[in-house]
Amino acid sequence: MTGQLAWVTGASTGIGRALALGLAARGWRVAASARPSAALDALAPEGTDIAAYPLDVRDAAANAATVAAIEATGPIALAILNAGTYRPSWAAGFDVATMRDMVETNLMGTVNGLIPVMERMMARRSGHIVLVASVAGWRGLPGGGAYGATKAALINLAESLKPDLERHGIALTVVAPGFVRTPLTAGNDFPMPFLIEADEAARIILDRLPGRPFSLALPWRMALAMGLLRLLPAPLLFGLTRRMLR
């Protein structure tokens, strides 16, 4: 992959940062996006070949302009649309602002990057697009409704696009992490089973991406646990998830 160009959004911290550094270490040229910050600026010198492209993913026009600016340096071979945000959302106090924030960042923020990348990749009939969803998109869990709904939407969108993009020569992967220690999970005050570090998450993802799987869930223990939950009929699911109520 030496010298090929990858675009990673949400690259200032957590999984995205680890992916950007991991890709650079594996010989990729990396275009790293997040909102302007010292963390994003600090990323570039750490990698061998990382360039920062500050971007608010909620701005559709800015996404198109960023993709154009990156592609002025070469075609994007791999786009990892990873930017995301999380806040808990319980029934009491559930508000429009929280839901809108999740939708605008996690769902529309991903779509805003997906469209210009997809158009360019279709035109040249090559490329690999990765959407970072979550195992929280597999089943609805108490307190995670707003976040989980955006991730479920991404998974459904990806399932719809996968065969369609295939005939245009483009691979599509949906990454579904379990719990990863990052700023996003730092405020969680509940047990996080099978928690892994961001570097470990990035290593697993980057090891498996060359196989171009459709679904890439990690770590395997969490994927198995949530995969079993996914198979349960609703009454049995609620029997388990009622125990998560606080």
Instruction: Give me the catalytic one of 147, 150, 158, 180.
Output: 147
- The residues, ordered by sequence, that sit 6+ positions from 15 with a Cβ below 8 Å of its Cβ are 82, 132, 177, 180, 182, 198, 201, 202, 205
Q: Show contacts with ligand NAP in window 30-89 (CB under 6 A).
A: 34-35, 37, 55-58, 82-86
Quick one: 5 or 52, whose CB is closer to ligand NAP? 52
Residue 92 DSSP SS3: coil
Based on the residue annotation, tell me whether 53 is a catalytic residue of this protein.
Answer: no
Q: In the 3-class helix/strand/coil scheme, how is 173-211 assigned residue by residue?
A: EEEEECCEECCCCCCCCCCCCCCEEHHHHHHHHHHHHHH
Contact between 113 and ligand NAP (CB under 6 A)?
no
In terms of CB distance, is 60 or 122 closer to ligand NAP? Answer: 60
Binding mask 184-223 for ligand NAP (x = CB under 6 A): xx--------------------------------------
Which of 179, 205, 217, 219 binds ligand NAP (CB under 6 A)? It is 179
Output the smallest distance, CB 126 to ligand NAP, in A: 25
Across 61-92, b (16+ Cβ under 10 Å) vs e yields ebbbebbeebbeeeebbbbbbbbbbbebbeee
List active site positions. Answer: 147
Write out the residues near ligand NAP by the rule CB under 6 A: 9-16, 34-35, 37, 55-58, 82-86, 105, 109, 132, 134, 177, 179-180, 182-185
